[in-house]
């Protein structure tokens, strides 16, 4: 399978960014763990992070041309208001899992709503860096059923 991991704004600052909320692991360290898992399970992959909405949308559109099987995305703050990222995911129609390190439903009121979730097959939230691996595993399960 070809699986892309996409991260939105400020995820590049993990490790130093509000460690009480997001933990001490860097994005690079989290990506290395996911990369090991994806390699061990025979998947092709790509990692992408941007602080810009347009760049994230371009990457999602590129996934269609590259015949990507599934996406794991942490849209970060765009989760809560980017209808453009929602539309991009709907447009490419690639199975996508939304992930969050923090438990967005237990935080400030503005974080409870995800405008991205309706364009995704599911959401993993609140397990720290493990949310990504759980997201990848949920995607694998979904894709294996889809291809059965
Ligand atoms: C986040 C949660 C968002 O509300 C926040 O804006 C982020 C990170 C998370 O992974 O917990 O940047 O997506």
- Check whether 65 is labelled as a binding-site residue: no
- Amino acid 131: pLDDT: 98
**What ipTM was reported for this prediction?**
0.99
Ligand 1 pocket test: which of 14, 56, 79 has the largest number of ligand atoms within 8 Å of its C-beta?
79
Index of the ligand 1 atom closest to the CA of residue 77: 6
Count of C-beta atoms within a 10 Å radius of residue 54: 9
What b/e string do you get for 9-43 counting C-beta neighbours within 10 Å, with b at 16 or more?
A: bebbebeeeeeeebbebbbeebbeebeebbeeeeb
- Amino acid 120: pLDDT: 98
- Amino acid 148: pLDDT: 77
Q: What is the CATH number of the domain that holds 86?
A: 3.40.50.9100
43 forms bridges with which residues in the sheet?
none
- Amino acid 141: pLDDT: 97
- Amino acid 80: pLDDT: 98
The series of mean pLDDT values per 10 residues for the chain, 148 residues long, is 98 97 97 98 98 98 98 98 98 98 97 98 98 98 89
* Cβ of residue 74 lying under 6 Å from some atom of ligand 1: yes
- Check whether 86 is labelled as a binding-site residue: no
Phi-psi region of 128 (alpha: psi -120 to 50; beta: other; left: phi over 0): left
Cut 0.90: pTM above it? yes
Domain count, the chain: 1
Nearest 5°: the CA angle 52, 12, 39 is 105
Chain centroid offset of residue 16 CA: 20
Domain that holds residue 57: 2-146
Residue whose entry in the numeric block shows the structure tokens 């704004």: 9
* Cβ of residue 100 lying under 6 Å from some atom of ligand 1: yes
């Amino acid at each position: 399978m070809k699986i892309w991991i996409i991260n939105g704004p400020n995820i590049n600052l993990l490790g130093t960014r509000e460690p009480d909320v997001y933990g001490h692991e860097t994005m690079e360290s989290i990506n290395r763990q996911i990369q090991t898992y994806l390699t061990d399970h025979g998947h092709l992959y790509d990692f992408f992070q941007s602080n810009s909405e347009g760049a994230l949308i371009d990457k999602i559109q590129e996934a269609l041309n590259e015949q990507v099987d599934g996406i794991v995305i942490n849209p970060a703050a765009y989760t809560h208001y980017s209808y453009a990222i929602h539309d991009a995911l709907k447009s490419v129609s690639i199975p996508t899992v939304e992930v969050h390190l923090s438990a967005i439903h237990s935080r400030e009121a503005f974080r409870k709503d995800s405008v991205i979730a309706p364009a995704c097959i599911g959401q993993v939230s609140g397990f720290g860096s493990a949310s990504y691996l759980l997201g990848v595993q949920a995607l694998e399960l979904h894709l294996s059923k889809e291809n059965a």
